[in-house]
Amino acid sequence: MKPEEGVRIELKQVTKAYGDKRVLDELNLVVEAGETLVVIGKSGQGKSVLLRLSAGLERPDSGEVLLNGVPADTYRIIPAQKKPFRMAMVFQGSALLNSLSVFENVALYLKEHGMAKGEDLDMLVMNALTSVELEHARDLYPTELSGGMRKRAAIARALATRPDVLLFDEPTAELDPLLSAEVAEVIHKIQSAHRMTIVVVTHNLVFARQVADRIALLEDGRIACSVKVSELLNAEYPPLRAFIEAAALA
Amino acid sequence: MQAAGRLEAQNSQGILTRIGASVLYGLEILGQSVNWALRTLGSFGEIPKRAGLILDEMVRIGTSSLFISSFLAFFVGMVLVVQTADQLEGYPQEVLGSIVGLSMTKELGPVLMAFLLAGRAGSAMAAELAAMQVYEEIAALRTLDIRVESYLILPKFIATALTLPLLILYADIIGILAGAFAVAIDPAIHVSVNAYFHNLQAYLKFSDIITGMVKGLVFGAVTAILSCTIGLRARRGTEEISNATTSAVVWSFITVTVFDYIIARIVLIF
Ligand SMILES: Nc1ncnc2c1ncn2[C@@H]1O[C@H](COP(=O)(O)OP(=O)(O)OP(=O)(O)O)[C@@H](O)[C@H]1O
Ligand SMILES: [Mg+2]
């Protein structure tokens, strides 16, 4: 379970329902250590639920979610200092703490767990903010930011924890094409810097092609198909085809 | 057919079902509150780490309640004098001092301030936590390995439990002074302000004031836990934020009254 070896995410026969509605239905998925997987799928298909389960924020009704063999919900409650690896998540709605400034939001994890202070902390936070071009907004509060700025602050907050696994829910939904490209650049940098396992949920196929090793389509509660990014444009599975054509990639 | 039958059954059980449902709901809140209370007590070791947040909360609670509590305590003090004087017809009005003093410190101060705190700070806490739940800030905290009971509940718990007794002491003083004011200006009252204070001094014990403040400590702690628990129960949808707000106030009122009785009963034993 050494982080150098990366973290493998495995979902086995995962079922999750809310009331009568089965959102995930015996879903199977493996994200290999060091892999970047992009999950696409229509709105309301359960992509965010898939990420919440992977982060151990919720428990599946049946089946297992394993992070290097450890059930995700068990992993979740291990105290920060004892965790075998770190996982960060960027939420669809950013989920910044409204009572804290951008700087404090990004610094929160390191400060809370005594992992950095003083100038060190300052530098780590500013590095994270600079990588998403938000250094000028350090003293603003979340309510003073645009949607795209909030998203970038949330990305910075995740990066500042120096994670081994990163879960991204729609990282580019509110960003213009230039900023999306910047975020793709940030992801490239962290991919090459260390063996990080990344799961990205996005509707943005241009972005998906920039960052993904593999693209998986979530449909009717399961992974309906998954293709290497190099084979995306040749994919024949009709629902995936429909996505590709709608995005005018081919 | 089947559906119609079910509907009939539902109607005939209507009241019982609803009573049952609200009892279950109450027990659920009670259980969750006890759970959060235990977890909060378990993070008492982190009080020094949260000192800044505790102070922030105390200031927030104090500033949101101070003006209105002065107002409330002032008029309650005056009302006590006027009302009691009316009831006393024939009896000597000297007893006004002790009646105002004792009712204020032992009962009205604590309960009124607790209700005020529940309405002001408790509802705000419930709304804040419900919003944090709805906007996934709570989930984000969990991904940052930050425990809700330590980061969010503990500061509110300590701050309310410390602030309410102070607020009560303040209300006691204002109420007693307001009583003196009413004695001085009301032509229907024939005792002197001096006699009022003399009688107050003769009957009001230091322990009465302390009892009231201890009540405040308990009421504050209870209000904080209930409000936080109810706030955290919110799931999705912004209407849950407003629901949490009102239900925190109602539940706090009920629970404070119950604890008021329990404490009064315990004090009677000693
Ligand atoms: N906590 C919850 N309670 C009830 N229903 C939920 C909950 N979370 C998700 N759902 C339901 O599960 C389904 C999938 O939701 P999810 O948010 O995962 O969709 P999504 O694929 O992320 O959609 P989008 O692309 O619009 O973000 C939806 O029908 C949603 O209503
Ligand atoms: Mg989603």
pLDDT tens digits, B39-52: 999 999 999 999 99
Of B269, B250, B267, B270, the C-alpha closest to B105 is B267
A57 at B interface, C-beta within 8 A: yes
Are A111 and A211 in the same domain? no
A17 within domain boundaries: no
What angle, 0 to 180 degrees and rounded to 10, lies between the N-to-C axes of helices B154-185 and B51-87?
Answer: 30
CA distances from A228 to A30, A154, B69 (A): 14, 28, 67
Fill in the DSSP letter of residue A37: E
For residue B194 the two structure tokens come to: 């001096």
Considering only CB atoms, A95 lies closest to which of B139, B146, B151, namely B139
For residue B166 the two structure tokens come to: 């102070």
Query: What is the per-residue pLDDT across A146-191, written as a single tens digit (0 to 9) for each?
Result: 888 999 999 999 999 999 999 999 988 888 888 888 888 888 888 8
Residue A160 has what pLDDT? Answer: 94
Asked whether the predicted pLDDT for residue A192 surpasses 90, the reply is no
Q: Write down which residue in A162, A188, A209 finishes a domain.
A: A162
Q: Which residues of B touch A91 (CB under 8 A)?
A: 136, 139-140
Q: Which residue has the higher pLDDT, A234 or A25?
A: A25
Residue A243 has what pLDDT? Answer: 83
Written as one string, the DSSP assignment of B62-78 is: HHHHHHHHHHHHHHHHH
Mean pLDDT of chain B: 91
Substitution site in A11, A14, A18, A204 for ligand 1 pocket (most atoms within 8 Å of beta carbon):
A18
pLDDT band at A234 (very low <50, low <70, confident <90, very high): confident
Q: Which residue has the higher pLDDT, B147 or B3?
A: B147
d(CA A235, CA B7): 52
Q: Which residue has the higher pLDDT, A124 or B1?
A: A124
Residue B8 has what pLDDT? Answer: 55
pLDDT band at B86 (very low <50, low <70, confident <90, very high): confident
Are A152 and A181 in the same domain? no
Asked whether the predicted pLDDT for residue A9 surpasses 90, the reply is yes
Nearest CA to ligand 1 atom 2: A18
Query: What is the average pLDDT across B190-214?
Result: 93
Considering only CB atoms, A109 lies closest to which of B131, B139, B144, namely B144
A120 within domain boundaries: yes
Are A198 and A111 in the same domain? no
Give residue B200 CA to ligand 1 midpoint distance, Å. Answer: 64
Residue A96 has what pLDDT? Answer: 97
Query: What is the per-residue pLDDT across A56-106, written as a single tens digit (0 to 9) for each?
Result: 999 999 999 999 999 999 999 999 999 999 999 999 999 999 999 999 999
pLDDT band at B127 (very low <50, low <70, confident <90, very high): very high
A89 at B interface, C-beta within 8 A: yes
Cβ atoms within 10 Å of A189's Cβ, excluding its own: 11
- Tell me if A130 sits within 8 A of A99, measured CB to CB: no
Mean pLDDT of chain A: 91
| Cα angle, residue A194 at apex, residues A189 and A197 outer, rounded to 5° | 95
Residue B7 has what pLDDT? Answer: 53
Query: What is the average pLDDT across B113-122?
Result: 95
Query: What is the per-residue pLDDT across B139-176, written as a single tens digit (0 to 9) for each?
Result: 999 999 999 999 999 999 999 999 999 999 999 999 99
Label the pairing between strands A70-71 and A62-67. Answer: antiparallel
A14 within domain boundaries: no
d(CA B146, CA A79): 9
Are A250 and A197 in the same domain? yes
A12 within domain boundaries: no
Fill in the DSSP letter of residue B106: I
* Cβ separation A98–B142 shorter than 8 A: no
B118-137 residues touching A, CB cutoff 8 A: 131-132, 135-137
- Tell me if A37 sits within 8 A of A187, measured CB to CB: no
Are A128 and A247 in the same domain? no
A130 within domain boundaries: yes
Residue B248 has what pLDDT? Answer: 94
A97 at B interface, C-beta within 8 A: yes
Residue A184 has what pLDDT? Answer: 87
CA distances from A32 to A5, A9, A112 (A): 11, 7, 31
> Comparing A125-139, A203-217, B1-15, which segment has the lowest mean pLDDT?
B1-15
Give residue A172 CA to ligand 2 midpoint distance, Å. Answer: 12
Are A192 and A249 in the same domain? yes
What angle, 0 to 180 degrees and rounded to 10, lies between the N-to-C axes of helices B206-232 and B109-117?
Answer: 20
Are A114 and A47 in the same domain? no
Are A172 and A183 in the same domain? yes
Give residue B212 CA to ligand 1 midpoint distance, Å. Answer: 49
d(CA A95, CA B267): 47
Are A113 and A81 in the same domain? no
Q: Write down which residue in A162, A186, A202 finishes a domain.
A: A162
Written as one string, the DSSP assignment of B143-189 is: HTT--HIIIIIHHHHHHHHHHHHHHHHHHHHHHHHHHHHHHHH-TT-
Domain of residue A238, CATH code: 3.40.50.300
Residue A168 main-chain phi, psi, to 5 deg = -115, 120
A133 within domain boundaries: yes
Residue B1 has what pLDDT? Answer: 43
Residue A249 has what pLDDT? Answer: 65
Number of domains making up chain A: 2
Cβ atoms within 10 Å of A177's Cβ, excluding its own: 11
Are A56 and A116 in the same domain? no
Q: What sign does the CA torsion over B57, B63, B68, B70 have?
A: positive
pTM of the model: 0.90
Label the pairing between strands A214-219 and A36-40. Answer: parallel
A140 within domain boundaries: yes
d(CA A39, CA A225): 10
Are A135 and A98 in the same domain? yes
Are A117 and A158 in the same domain? yes
The position carrying tokens 């009205």 is: B108
Q: Which atom of ligand 1 is nearest to the CA of A19?
A: 4
Query: What is the average pLDDT across B204-229?
Result: 95
Q: Write down which residue in A143, A162, A181 finishes a domain.
A: A162
B89 at A interface, C-beta within 8 A: no
A114 at B interface, C-beta within 8 A: no
Asked whether the predicted pLDDT for residue B12 surpasses 60, the reply is no
Query: What is the average pLDDT across A195-203?
Result: 91
How many whole angstroms from its chain centre is CA A135? Answer: 22
d(CA A112, CA A161): 11
Q: What is the span of the domain harbouring residue A117? A: 94-162
The position carrying tokens 């429909």 is: A242
> Comparing A1-15, A27-41, A43-57, A200-214, which segment has the lowest mean pLDDT?
A1-15
The position carrying tokens 């400034």 is: A101
Give residue B104 CA to ligand 1 midpoint distance, Å. Answer: 53
Nearest CA to ligand 1 atom 17: A48
A66 within domain boundaries: yes
